[in-house]
Amino acid sequence: MGVNVNAEWPEFQHGSELRVVKISPEGEEVTTYPGWVIDVGAPYPWLALRADWVRKVVEMDGLQFIPGDTLHEFFSPDHWFNLFSVWSPEGRLRGWYANVSRPTRIDESTTPATLYWLDLYVDLIGLPTGEFAIRDEDELLQSNLVSSDPFLHALILETRDELIRLFEARAFPFNQTDLTAGGFRP
């Protein structure tokens, strides 16, 4: 990436703005948007942000992202995934979108600080009904990581399995079902 990042996970005050940057598995910037630190009871070392969905309507495996939705985004410097919970403007949980990713890095030298996350192909979409879908395993297969980096390939599959276990148990970060929990008000 060529970015100077801090080795330690910084602390941010509630309401602090961060610039969020998604990086493709090939190392290219995919998207960037603002997020604001929120307190929704995320355990250490997780950082929770609020972001607003401003793009077009997107539907994937029953999960809709609609302009005006609020996302609670959870990032960690230690875990190989991140997660977005999607909330309607009325405060109804639409579902969760979890990304297998490298651990998150934050560059505090920028204003605002920049949070980088590198996507690693596989995603889990979870619905409040308990249904879930795994996405983009075909992209992982096409990446040829199974031959070029078997350790990373195995880690991605292990993380996918961990996401399934967490979702089925409704364990953090799949446990938030009330938009007003943790002091956050729409």
Q: What is the CATH number of the domain that holds 23?
A: 2.40.380.10
Residue 66 domain flag: yes
Residue 31 domain flag: yes
pLDDT tens track for 72-95: 999 999 999 999 999 999 999 999
The token pair that represents 184 in the structure block: 């956050």
Residue 186 domain flag: no
Q: How far apart are the first and last CA of the chain?
A: 35
Per the structure, the count of domains in the chain is 1
Residue 183 domain flag: no
- 69 and 75 in contact (C-beta within 8 Å)? no
The token pair that represents 43 in the structure block: 């355990």
pLDDT band at 6, cuts 50/70/90? very low
Give the predicted TM-score (pTM) of the model: 0.90
Q: What is the domain range of residue 22?
A: 17-177
Please tell me what DSSP assigns to residue 103: P
Pairing of strands 70-75, 114-126: unpaired
The pLDDT of 2-26, averaged and rounded, is 79
